[in-house]
């Protein structure tokens, strides 16, 4: 097996980290808002994502976004079917509730 090469350079540029720090301060202050809805951002992860997105727009050194995993639609459809009652639970397969009284 070939050894993986370690890159010694920074993954994110300095200007990218400044943008993220700015977004974090705005979140703490309560002025950071999400794009389309315009609601206040409360989560730390979302603030970081917004900071990195702004850095990308400005042309800072930021790695590409990860590609979305395949099969997302299938998983969502499966969840919806389970909610509606499409999937049978173990109790239903047995024929209803398990009785506590012993049968003679």
Rounded CA-CA distance 50/44 in Å is 10
Cβ distance 43 to 11 under 8 Å?
no
Q: Using the predicted structure, report yes or no on whether residue 16 has a pLDDT greater than 80.
A: yes
This prediction's pTM = 0.56
User: Domain limits of the chain?
Assistant: 14-57
Q: Using the predicted structure, report yes or no on whether residue 87 has a pLDDT greater than 60.
A: no
Joined tokens for residue 99: 């009785």
CA angle 72, 78, 81 (to 5 degrees): 145
Q: Using the predicted structure, report yes or no on whether residue 100 has a pLDDT greater than 60.
A: yes
């Amino acid at each position: 097996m070939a050894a993986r090469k370690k890159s010694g350079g920074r993954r994110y540029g300095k200007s990218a980290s400044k943008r993220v720090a700015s977004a974090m301060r705005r979140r703490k202050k309560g002025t950071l808002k999400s794009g389309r809805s315009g609601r206040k951002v409360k989560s730390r992860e979302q603030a970081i994502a917004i900071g990195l997105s702004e850095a990308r727009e400005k042309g800072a050194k930021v790695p590409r976004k990860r590609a979305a995993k395949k099969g997302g639609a299938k998983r969502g459809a499966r969840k919806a079917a389970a909610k509606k009652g499409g999937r049978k639970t173990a109790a239903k397969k047995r024929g209803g509730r398990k009785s506590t009284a012993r049968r003679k």
